[in-house]
Chain A
């Protein structure tokens, strides 16, 4: 079945460090890919998305590129801030014939220290 795998956390970085959170997927067809962020006690917020191969999603300094050849959608940010501390979820959703349900990775906790 379809699945998403994220790198294990927690990831601990100093402020202004470079961030990479790896995400790979297994899916038939052409899924859309998403990164969601969850702050403590809150629901998921969409961070960025990409709907086809080679698309780059970006938002708030974060970016990820849909790589079909490596089935990956790694999240990157050039300089993290303490306020970026949260849990990050990679997810996929299938195409027009599917229900649109999200299939999530296991989440990666990011802690940024001053």
Chain B
């Protein structure tokens, strides 16, 4: 597609439950990025992929967060045993190449942990 498609738009989970978010990058884009937006404006990089391979995971909390990009499937970001502090908007972006190319963002998934 011509847009980065993120689903669902809003996800509500009780503390301790699992949350799974999906992202379909723009067709032909090789790189996928996940960001977490907290406190309304602050963006934090989580992880990036080059095709199905992890490219940079330096921003990922190791214990409960995982992500995949498998061929012919949307990419996914999964949070196990969610905590209140995981409440945020999670954005996915894709680009044709990783460096110096504009990233195209989806509309985000708002995760609310109750």
Contact = CB atoms under 8 A, between A and B. Distances in A.
Interface of A: 32, 34, 36, 41-46, 49, 51, 87, 89, 93-104, 106-107, 109
Contact of A93 (B100, B106, B108): B100
Interface stretch (B38-46, B63-71, B78-86): B38-46
Given A98-B98, A99-B98, A102-B103, 4 more contacts: A89-B43, A100-B31, A102-B33, A103-B45
A45 B103 CA distance: 9
Interface of B: 4, 6, 31, 33, 35, 40-43, 45, 48, 55-56, 59, 91, 93, 95, 97-108
A100 B94 CA distance: 11
Nearest 10 Cβ contacts at the A-B interface? A100-B98, A107-B41, A43-B105, A99-B56, A104-B43, A44-B105, A32-B100, A100-B99, A101-B45, A46-B102
Contacts of B59: 101
